[in-house]
Amino acid sequence: MPDPAPDPKHLNRVLLAAAIGLVLLLVWNVAFGQALPAGRTIDPREAVATSQGAIGRTVGDHRLTASDGRAIRMSDFRGKPLVVSFIYTGCFQVCPTTTKFLAEAVAEARRTVGDDGFRIITIGFNLPFDAPVAMGEFARKQGIADAHWTFATPSPESLDALARDMGFQWVPTAAGFDHLTQATILDGDGRVFRQVYGDSFELPMFVAPLRELVLGDPAPRNDVAGWIERVRILCTVYDARAGRYRLNYALFVELFTGSTIVIATLWYLISASRRRRRPTDGETRPA
């Protein structure tokens, strides 16, 4: 026996329940989405937006001091692509891990574009503690001995403007600092060309932009790996107690729940529409 035609009132109740569920989901996210106290962590969504907003911006000619005591300026690095990373020397986990992985990515990129194809500068942002001597010691501990890699300290007057030009943010926490882990790639004219996120990442995400700048080999900007990395970053929060970043599984649950509600509602509407068009006993389809 064919299924009876769906009751329009029942269909309206289902749609109303789905709408209420979505509203409650959004309210829960706003009310409980921040696991740590306000002011103790950066919002990863806003941090990524700020970072991405720096793309295309020309970095100013800021003054720094290299770990060997030389006075340098950002303009000294013009003419070739430049990779910029920010760390603080008092960090015992994320910054060392990030720097060591960056060294692996740099080695891979150099196999592609040549040893002298680009340069790297790592900048300490925790003044006055990230002094030139401290930056040199940090490089030594990470095993970085590279003629094309500079560890440097910005002047107090230029730090904020330098970080703003790069789209880099940080806030103090009980365990040190919360900051978006990023490697900023500048072109030869000192413009921000690409941002690469995380203490580890797929190597093509780092190598491809450098290939594009050095060899003129265009890199896809919206590949699958890039979207996966964006989702991972947006679902990562800083755990001040553990002193490291971790995945916020609550965000995954929210995404799954919201998607399930939408898919279930669409499935019900499609099924109801098909049942409504199905002829009942004694009825015939129009010729």
Kindly report whether the global pTM for this prediction surpasses the value 0.75: no
Per-residue pLDDT tens for 91-142? 888 899 999 999 999 999 999 999 999 999 999 999 999 999 999 999 999 9
Per-residue pLDDT tens for 203-256? 888 999 999 999 887 755 545 455 555 555 545 444 444 444 444 545 555 556
Per-residue pLDDT tens for 42-53? 787 888 889 999
DSSP string of the chain, one letter each residue: -PPPPPPHHHHHHHHHHHHHHHHHHHHHHHHHS--S-TTSS--HHHHHHHHHHTTTPBPP--EEEETTS-EEEGGGGTTS-EEEEEE-TT-SSHHHHHHHHHHHHHHHHHHHH-TTS-EEEEEE-STTTS-HHHHHHHHHHTT---TTEEEEEE-TTTHHHHHHHHT--EEEETTEEEE--EEEEE-TTSBEEEEEESSS--HHHHHHHHHHHHH-----SS-HHHHHHHHHHHTEEEETTTTEEEE-HHHHHHHHHHHHHHHHHHHHHHHHHHHHHS--TT-----
